Amino acid sequence: MASRLVVSRLGNSGNSSIPLLSFSRAMSGHPGDGAGRGGGSGGSVRDAGGAFGKMEAAREDEYFYKKQKEQLQQLKRHVEEEANHHKQQLENHKKALERHERRIAELEAEEKKIGKK
C-alpha cells in the first residue's frame, strides 16, 4: 500500500495560514485484503486480511473522513472570522471618512468666514 500525505498552506491576507492536509492511498485490491493482496502493511491485523483486516481498513477510512471534515470546519470558521474582521474594519474606515469629511466642511466654513472679513 502506498500512502501519501499532502500538506498545503492556504494563504490569506495576513501573515498566518492554515495547513490543509489531505490523505490518499493507492493500492491494488481492496483495503484489508491482507499482505500481498493490496491491503497489507497496515499492521498485523491488516496483514492477516479477512473480516478483521477489512474492519480495520474501514476504521482507518472513517478516521481520515472525520479528520478531513474537522479540517474543513476549522477552515470555514477561520474564513468567517476573517470576513467579520474585514467587515469591522470597513465600518471603522467609514466612520473615519465621515469624521474627515465633517472636519473638511468645518475648515471650509471657517475659511469662508475669514475671507469675508
Return the domain boundaries, the chain.
2-116
Q: How far is CA 30 from the centre of its chain?
A: 31
Count of helix runs (H) and strand runs (E) in the chain: 2, 2
pTM over 0.85? The answer is no
pLDDT at position 32 = 62
Q: What is the DSSP letter of 20?
A: E
Q: Transcribe 31-42 into DSSP letters.
A: TTS-TTTTS-SS
Q: Is 36 left (phi over 0), alpha (psi -120 to 50) or beta?
A: left
- What is the tens place of the pLDDT at every residue in 46-105? 666 788 888 888 999 999 999 999 999 999 999 999 999 999 999 999 999 999 999 999
User: Rounded CA gap, 1 and 36, in Å?
Assistant: 9
φ, ψ (nearest 5 deg) of residue 24: -145, 150
